Amino acid sequence: MLVNVFTLKLFMTRVIMIVFPVLTIVGMTFVSSPVFVLMRVSMVVFVPVLVRVVGITMPVVMRVAVSMYVFMIVTVFVFFVHVDPPTQMVQFE
């Protein structure tokens, strides 16, 4: 079976456009961090646009997606281990 490159790229574009919204819904369901949800939504909005722009190839898009995943994981980790500053000033009498 011979599949030409155009058909393969079209198929991969459709797969990405289906997979990222599903991951976004899962992320919104199980993670309550607003930054994490914002990153997921931005990936859903920008990745299909990047795929359609001439000159942006699949390896570039996948590298961007992987780097955004790493950034999201680090961001969520920082949110979980951060230290809250005191909300009110201590008054000494």
Average the pLDDT over 3-27 and give the result.
68
pLDDT confidence band for 21 (50 / 70 / 90):
low
21 Cβ neighbours under 8 A, 6+ residues apart: 44
1-15, 49-63, 65-79: least confidently modelled range: 49-63
Q: What is the mean pLDDT of residues 56-64?
A: 65
Instruction: Tell me the percentage of the chain whose pLDDT exceeds 90.
Output: 0
The predicted model scores a pTM of 0.31
d(CA 53, CA 21): 20
Q: Is residue 19's pLDDT more than 60?
A: yes
Extract the tokens encoding 30.
Answer: 């199980």
